[in-house]
Structure 1
């Protein structure tokens, strides 16, 4: 479109299409508009160069401070100054939409999260889940102290309180008279005990039976035999302290059910576990101790006596001390 036609259109003097019946009425106005438009066009043509110069000068952005001149070496050419880009140039028109798009965030894109967005979680209380009223309550672990003989034996048989249950063949609960005056307590089951599920079998068991016979006692007759640990430790190692602690409630309940008048601790480990001490057999022998209110006499384990025959006399002295203590506890009855 020519410049004069553009100016006429902007001034509202460009020719317009009218209805066929109204052509005569508009003819006079059209002639006058043409004459006026010719004059305006000539004026616009004269003014246009000056207007373009003014717009070009106004489009150059003002500089805050003129950069200080830098000294250059005669051998180094001065760097060319960057040419300002006019906002009306094609490059600026292409860059403007993308810059505007980056400046204005997308309405559909959510704002980024900040640390304050999650601060309200700290003040929210944890939900309280309703408990099932119809669900049966689980029996506490300390109910061992209320079990009878059958329930206690069944509990030991299915016990999984420590990892010794993983490699056992049988649990070794105990054997003998459940109303006996004498209670003999060993340390832990060995290979034969684990296979048969009974304490003190094999050669050590035969020696123990002979020791009882010397006291006019017999296995199962006024004598109950048990162990501190009900499962065999791998490789016949000494039980760990946590294994003793988890298994001790069973022994405590057995002592409470038997109600013995004398306890004989067979071996160093059994004595240390019952008396909660780290003393040696030599330091614990020859004295009367106490466990759960019952007198305790410490002596050697029968398996040790099979390897150390010279200590059999010491073991016999320990059994005599146990007999005397038992007689005192029983009120002089033999």
Structure 2
């Protein structure tokens, strides 16, 4: 079975999922979007209002910030893969709970296994904590480790993890925008140097 077929089946599963109470509350589940052959995978935390409405990740104000950052390093959404740990919107955009992350994270694990990215960019602390622990690293505060790289080894080879701030943070704290920009320049170097 090819990547496309595997991902379509998985997306269907996610859209019908009722493994946690968020399944009852959503308008649309948000599996993810972008290229199934992406070198870079961005992992946010959970869908917000607009994502829930449209069934697509990062389509609200934070998504505009992400689009601008991608454009600055010469990438489009179609060339990367964008998803979240939790695929349904938590009420009032609150942080996802441990239970929700536990119920939903196997979907993310499968997405990583199918896409086989060279670089995973966790956006925000929940995503960073999950991804770093998954690959055997001990998370630190995101303010300390954003833009740093971690090399992990998977069944499909080496993957580089580079956590950064969630683009929404730049909306509330403008100085974070500059930090994000610097991290994205590092990301560009990583992509350019990976085979």
2:24 to 144, 162, 166: 166
Partner of 2:192: 327
Check whether the contact 1:188–1:230 (CA below 8 A) recurs between aligned residues.
yes
Higher relative contact order by CA 8 Å / sep ≥ 6: 1 or 2?
Answer: 2
> 1:199: which partner in 2?
57
Q: In proportion to residue count, which structure has more strand?
A: 2
- The equivalent residue for 1:41 is none
Q: How do residues 1-334 of structure 1 correspond to structure 2 at under 5 angstroms? A: 148-220=6-78, 222-276=79-133, 277=138, 279-290=140-151, 292=154, 293-330=158-195
What is the alpha-carbon distance in structure 1 between the residues aligned to residue 52 and residue 140 of structure 2? 28
**DSSP-derived class of the 1:169 partner:** coil
> Which whole-Å CA distance do the structure 2 matches of 1:218 and 1:329 have between them?
18
1:275–1:290 contact (8 Å) kept in structure 2: no
Partners of 1:208 and 1:302 within 8 A in 2: yes
2:163 aligned counterpart, secondary structure:
strand
CA contact (8 A) 1:267 1:300 kept: yes
Aligned-residue Cα RMSD (Å) equals 1.6
Counterpart in the other structure of 1:67: none
Q: 1:164 to 1:308 in 2, by over 3 A?
A: same
Distance 1:248 1:181 in 2: 20
- Take 1:253 and 1:187, find their aligned partners in 2: how far apart are those partners? 16
**Unaligned stretches of 5+ in structure 1?**
1-146
Larger radius of gyration, structure 1 or 2?
1
How far, CA to CA, are the matches of 1:247 and 1:280 in structure 2? 23
CA apart distance, 1:278:
5.1
Cα deviation digits, residues 29-74 of structure 1 (max 9, x gap): xxxxxxxxxxxxxxxxxxxxxxxxxxxxxxxxxxxxxxxxxxxxxx
- Deviation digits for residues 248-299 of structure 1 (CA, Å, limit 9, x no counterpart): 1111111111111111111122111211355211122232125655211111
- Cα 1:224–1:286, aligned 2, differ >3 Å: closer, same or farther? closer
**TM-score in terms of structure 2 length:** 0.87
Following superposition, the deviation at residue 174 of structure 1 comes to: 0.5
Instruction: Report the 3-state secondary structure (helix = DSSP H, G, I; strand = E; otherwise coil) of the residue aligned with 2:53.
Output: helix
What number of residue pairs does the alignment pair up? 183
Deviations 1:95-131 (A, max 9, x none): xxxxxxxxxxxxxxxxxxxxxxxxxxxxxxxxxxxxx
SS at match of 2:162: strand
Q: TM-score, normalised by structure 1?
A: 0.52
